[in-house]
A = this chain, B = another copy of it.
Amino acid sequence: MHRHEGHDACPGDAVDMLARAESLCRERGLQFTPLRRDVLEVVAASGKAQGAYDIAERLSVPGKRVAPVSVYRALDFLMEQGLVHRIASRNAFIPCAHVHAPGEGVIFLICRTCGGVDEESSQDLESGLGRTLERAGFTPAHSILEVEGDCGLCRDRKQAS
């Protein structure tokens, strides 16, 4: 479902994700609480972007309900630490597949067939964007780039049928 090409780091699965998060929090003197851990686990376990309410439902068991607001707080924390990203066009969240260089731009490739989200970064694209912004006299603070289409696997599957 995912393609990760040309990355420096590609932790990929949920276990690595949790280990990485834990060491990162320890390093920064922050709390990696059970709730935050659970939320990250749900986000990391599914290959698709998860809505906050989906996560809340997933974490709820009969007798122990997790409110969406708690999920949002955990997600805010995880986003601040760069462990998850928000997909604006879907109102959904995905685990961060990279270890990012500071200020590095990211592109999200969202497959409209399988729902999988791939995360790419491109120096080429980045410099093109920089030139365009400079030409427009605009000082960027934060940018989002999301492309919807068909991933390689889904395209092949379509052609085969």
Contacts and interface: CB of A to CB of B under 8 A. Distances in A.
Interface stretch (A13-21, A36-44, A50-58, A117-125): A117-125
B89 A137 contact: no
Interface in A124-151: 124-125, 127-129, 131-133, 135-151
Oligomeric state, in copies: 2
A100 interface: no
A155 B148 CA distance: 33
A95 B56 CA distance: 37
A131 B124 contact: yes
Contacts of A122: 128, 131-132
Interface in A62-111: 88-89, 107, 109, 111
Chain A binding surface, main DSSP class: mixed
A113 to B, nearest CB: 10
B137 A152 contact: yes
B136 A120 contact: yes
Task: Please indicate which of the listed interface residues A111, A149, A152 has the most CB atoms of chain B within 10 Å of its own CB.
Answer: A149
